[in-house]
Amino acid sequence: MFSSSLSGSAFTWFISLPPNSVITWADLEKQFHKYFFSGVHEKKITDLVRLKQRNDESVESFVQRLREVKNKCYSLILDDRQLADLAFQGLLPHIKDKYASQEFESLSHLV
């Protein structure tokens, strides 16, 4: 039941644990903190700002990649509009030019 309550990077981390590596709740808590709060895997806003859509990448794939990086920004709080603005800035120039007059309220709206 526990694994079905997880999403995003927490779910990805959980399913990547080696079999039988977690015996007790304390084991799970220790591994969770080691992974998520060590700072080693944490991404920063600069990682999001640097993301750019690749020439052969759809908008949907780019947004998914941005979401994955955002899920690793554990201490970063952005509202939906701010995240959509960041994504918009990373789009290919011809797509950005086409939709420059639009305001996007969320990543879903952008896609």
86 lies in the same domain as 57: yes
State the Cα–Cα distance between residues 97 and 27, nearest whole angstrom. 51
pLDDT digits (tens, 9 = 90+) for 77-111: 888 999 999 999 999 999 999 999 998 998 888 88
For 21, the domain range is 3-36
101 lies in the same domain as 83: yes
The CATH number of the domain holding residue 84 is: 1.10.1200
Identify the CA nearest to 74 among candidates 29, 32, 28, 19: 32
Domain count, the chain: 2
59 lies in the same domain as 104: yes
pTM > 0.75: yes or no:
no
State the Cα–Cα distance between residues 43 and 41, nearest whole angstrom. 6
